Structure 1
């Protein structure tokens, strides 16, 4: 039987390519620099998007630290089969020897025969920000596929030098590596550097090499017990940072994942919300029925959680939303319906004349129409139905990247949500949002066909080559690529910069750096983006880059 590849799903695990609890490290790096008539290093004159490359199944190893020959591939697992009359398949314990690995790339485990395999836990400590060739898996249909490479948009003739994730064969062993490629762009335009063409006879799951950056931290591949029913199956056991909470579905973005369940807060005696002395202002509606803001500001993300993870009161929400209005924003993005978000944020938005971007949050694998969490959110929206406040409904936040949905499942859910909300009068726009790599590594044409506008989450901090001053050009470049993918106007549902954490290459967090980055984004695309987030999310874990709690930017806007 043809060998298969399986990615081990660890309880509470997070993709090794994302260390950011909200948005973690993107396997896709994008860069768009300033004009330069001479050669550059993936910076001057170009927008570089590191996309996935699909090829044959590979064993992943980091680049060698010395000039000596690369280490040989790991030996096959040591297999111990225990005979038993109760189990229908043998129980097998596999022990893996790591060949000098210094970064938490997924561990390949070979399962030659059917059985129940146990893979022991492994821990790796990363002491400095490290970029290597990592891997993920993707399923492709039968046929010829040209994927990956580096897509570069240049504004003038130039020579670009870029790292590219690719594969090479040595003595019959296929290895994923990062190579530096020099490419001459003779005229302005869009170029794809180093794509790979692969032909598969049937639906096949293959390994995708990607450029991956790991921040300092402790990473653990938990023990895994899995039952294999086919022969020659390769299981990839990803690492997670010990600092990242298990249940949160975010990694890089900066979208607020719902906080872990908590006991109800102690009763809080609050003052009743003040009654406006005059009629509430009419919510701003973009001209022409489109999206976007006035001048160079549009929207801010908002989640009604206190620092301890408990829900804010209606009065606290009103105070926050009033300040957001004072800062000059015209819309709010909310992610879900929990924590009385719809009645409390809705009332505050109406009182302040703000529009809403509402959402269906998918926080675990399986975005089926009948999923109780999804169904409850749809039911809450149907009961609330204050559609005169709503400009856009976002179904799913990074659900593709986190493998919570397949493309078809997400397409079906968007269609289902349209039907359900349409049945109670909603006639506004629909979309879904994700990181650019999630859209580029899949055929998302079915999703593009059912959404009204294209949206993505873009956080320049997770591109290790982007400085705060280049943040706006980075986001602008991502929006341009997203518009080409779906052929529709694109908007950014999340962007910002952390004020604390560790440096990710040239991308260093800090108070002044956050101000510089946000000023850059505001200048370039301020009326097309949703800034993340109003206040720091102290209820989150700090994450492997120690930045997860520190995206609050309300003070940058004077509130």
Structure 2
């Protein structure tokens, strides 16, 4: 299935709406210093009144050998100098548009030569009332004391400034703790932009030119940077010639993905029915429902709508793992995909991550070739590994696409991901969905010797058009999902917990209707 994404970027501020509010900017001002010298006049007062003063002139002549007098060199005062300048970092650029019109934000490129940690922005939609976000989430296995940096804000003279502080927190027992979260109270739904501690690795960061027509007053445009590391640039990818297949059988690197039960993973997209970003509170509530239903892993397709931060915090709160993604769309490997890579490297909550999926049906949709995808996966894996990730990476495509590209794909993935949809087969009735998926998964298992297959997207719609004998309906959906759960539920990621009403129905009339919320407790 093709997942759509809304890119949301953020700026460093707190409690800010994307419309209806002006953004205050705080600038650092250099101090100007001047040295003032005090010089002697050569005139001294005796302190006696002039009327009583008398003068006596004494003339003395002294004879002796002549000598040369060399006065000492005057003291030289060297003005203080600084040999250090703060690094410029590529935090998202914010522009406030006070009136309607067309605004052009020029392209900017920054290169940083040393890793820098700063307050960087993230955003979420707030619902009316009290909202909590940010902070540092940690998981401990026993009572322990944690010392960690955290991002917070201070307000002075009506100006909000983000800063990094350090705190000591005592975790009294094993569990998940969020340290120093930020709280805000709003009277209406608004966009809240808050700081997070973010490290920028060495590399070149680019913010492309943005031209936007604004129809509202006080409209805010956020422009994020994308990055490329010098050792592994992600800006361009030249197709590579497919090498001859050369496989060395190894122990499966799937790392125990999935389980032997009926439920493992399910997809989630943090969008409202109208396509807007859900608030952190709404995401938390949604993930709680997923946890209560028995699924143990949540798959997200990319970083849009603060998905890493909000879904990550919710998964930590309810003890779930994540399958995170780098989404490749029509912009190829330099657009949304590069943004997702940068977001993952900034977030890097590796303890939550069960698998990273680099591309979702990208070759199937002609967004790149198999060779280009393989090169991109290799580059991403290097960057994630350098940032501390030790888990598996893969991509996911329909079976026929994988079969046509094993020569280039098998060598760069750790587990073989495939999207297996019995409904789109057209020759599979709902009752046979499980056996169809199991048969396809067996073929996936055999594609790359030594690497296990995993079903990363499957399901059955509750509404839409029949494709051959595959017909959507609430009853057929329940039959199909029960069949899949019985056959390969522990090795399958279901699309999806909620209906994706933000999508277009598509030719099948079904794209919005894969949610299983109403039937999830039937197996």
Q: TM-score range by the shorter chain?
A: 0.5 to 0.7
- 1:277 and 1:260 mapped to 2: Cα distance? 39
Matches within 5 A, 1:242-321: 250=2, 256-259=3-6, 268-272=127-131, 280=175, 289-293=255-259, 295-321=261-287
Query: What is aligned with 1:478?
Result: 440
SS in 2 for 1:456: strand
SS in 2 for 1:470: helix
Contact 1:293 1:330 in 2 (8 A): no
Matches within 5 A, 1:322-341: 322-341=288-307
Query: What is aligned with 1:386?
Result: 349
Deviation string 1:51-98 (CA, Å, 9 cap, x unpaired) is: xxxxxxxxxxxxxxxxxxxxxxxxxxxxxxxxxxxxxxxxxxxxxxxx
Query: What is aligned with 2:244?
Result: none
Deviation string 1:202-221 (CA, Å, 9 cap, x unpaired) is: xxxxxxxxxxxxxxxxxxxx
Corresponding position: 1:445 with 2:445: no
Matches within 5 A, 1:221-236: none
Q: Larger Rg: 1 or 2?
A: 2
Contact 2:8 2:306 in 1 (8 A): no
- 2:339 and 2:294 mapped to 1: Cα distance? 33
Equivalent pairs counted in the alignment come to 298
- 1:406 and 1:357 mapped to 2: Cα distance? 24
Contact 1:414 1:450 in 2 (8 A): yes
Contact 1:259 1:539 in 2 (8 A): no
Query: What is aligned with 1:419?
Result: 382
Judged with a 3 Å threshold, the aligned counterparts in structure 2 of structure 1 residues 403 and 451 are, in CA distance, closer, same or farther, namely same
- 1:395 and 1:340 mapped to 2: Cα distance? 18
Contact 2:254 2:415 in 1 (8 A): no
Query: What is aligned with 1:363?
Result: 329
Query: What is aligned with 2:201?
Result: none
Deviation at 1:268, TM superposition (A): 3.2
SS in 2 for 1:486: coil
Contact 2:7 2:304 in 1 (8 A): no
Deviation at 1:271, TM superposition (A): 3.8
Corresponding position: 1:539 with 2:502: yes
Contact 2:7 2:305 in 1 (8 A): no
By relative contact order (CA 8 Å, sep 6+), the higher-ranking structure is: 1
> Structure 2: where are the runs of 5+ without partners?
10-16, 20-124, 138-170, 178-252
Deviation at 1:461, TM superposition (A): 0.7
Query: What is aligned with 1:152?
Result: none
SS in 1 for 2:322: strand
Deviation string 1:413-470 (CA, Å, 9 cap, x unpaired) is: 1111011111110011010001112122x23222101111001001111111101110
Deviation string 1:163-207 (CA, Å, 9 cap, x unpaired) is: xxxxxxxxxxxxxxxxxxxxxxxxxxxxxxxxxxxxxxxxxxxxx
- 1:273 and 1:279 mapped to 2: Cα distance? 22
Corresponding position: 1:435 with 2:182: no
Corresponding position: 1:396 with 2:347: no
Deviation at 1:280, TM superposition (A): 4.0
Judged with a 3 Å threshold, the aligned counterparts in structure 2 of structure 1 residues 277 and 542 are, in CA distance, closer, same or farther, namely farther
SS in 1 for 2:304: coil
- 2:348 and 2:517 mapped to 1: Cα distance? 29
Query: What is aligned with 1:185?
Result: none
Corresponding position: 1:557 with 2:496: no
Deviation at 1:555, TM superposition (A): 2.0
Alignment RMSD: 2.7
- 1:260 and 1:459 mapped to 2: Cα distance? 27
Query: What is aligned with 1:469?
Result: 431
SS in 2 for 1:472: helix
SS in 1 for 2:462: coil
Judged with a 3 Å threshold, the aligned counterparts in structure 2 of structure 1 residues 542 and 372 are, in CA distance, closer, same or farther, namely closer
Contact 2:361 2:396 in 1 (8 A): yes
TM-score by length of 1: 0.50
SS in 2 for 1:377: helix
SS in 2 for 1:339: helix
Contact 1:464 1:506 in 2 (8 A): yes
Judged with a 3 Å threshold, the aligned counterparts in structure 2 of structure 1 residues 260 and 344 are, in CA distance, closer, same or farther, namely closer
Judged with a 3 Å threshold, the aligned counterparts in structure 2 of structure 1 residues 340 and 288 are, in CA distance, closer, same or farther, namely closer
Query: What is aligned with 1:156?
Result: none
Judged with a 3 Å threshold, the aligned counterparts in structure 2 of structure 1 residues 322 and 277 are, in CA distance, closer, same or farther, namely farther
Contact 1:302 1:334 in 2 (8 A): yes
Deviation at 1:545, TM superposition (A): 1.6
Query: What is aligned with 1:374?
Result: 337
Deviation string 1:476-528 (CA, Å, 9 cap, x unpaired) is: 11111112222221001100000001111111101111000000000000000
Matches within 5 A, 1:191-206: none
- 1:539 and 1:414 mapped to 2: Cα distance? 29
Judged with a 3 Å threshold, the aligned counterparts in structure 2 of structure 1 residues 288 and 521 are, in CA distance, closer, same or farther, namely closer
- 1:537 and 1:509 mapped to 2: Cα distance? 16
- 2:401 and 2:498 mapped to 1: Cα distance? 27
> Structure 1: where are the runs of 5+ without partners?
1-22, 24-249, 251-255
Contact 1:294 1:330 in 2 (8 A): no
- 2:399 and 2:276 mapped to 1: Cα distance? 32
- 1:259 and 1:554 mapped to 2: Cα distance? 23
Contact 1:365 1:405 in 2 (8 A): no
Contact 1:483 1:489 in 2 (8 A): yes
Deviation at 1:336, TM superposition (A): 0.2
- 1:443 and 1:340 mapped to 2: Cα distance? 33
Contact 1:273 1:318 in 2 (8 A): no
Deviation string 1:21-68 (CA, Å, 9 cap, x unpaired) is: xx3xxxxxxxxxxxxxxxxxxxxxxxxxxxxxxxxxxxxxxxxxxxxx
Judged with a 3 Å threshold, the aligned counterparts in structure 2 of structure 1 residues 496 and 533 are, in CA distance, closer, same or farther, namely same
Judged with a 3 Å threshold, the aligned counterparts in structure 2 of structure 1 residues 351 and 277 are, in CA distance, closer, same or farther, namely farther
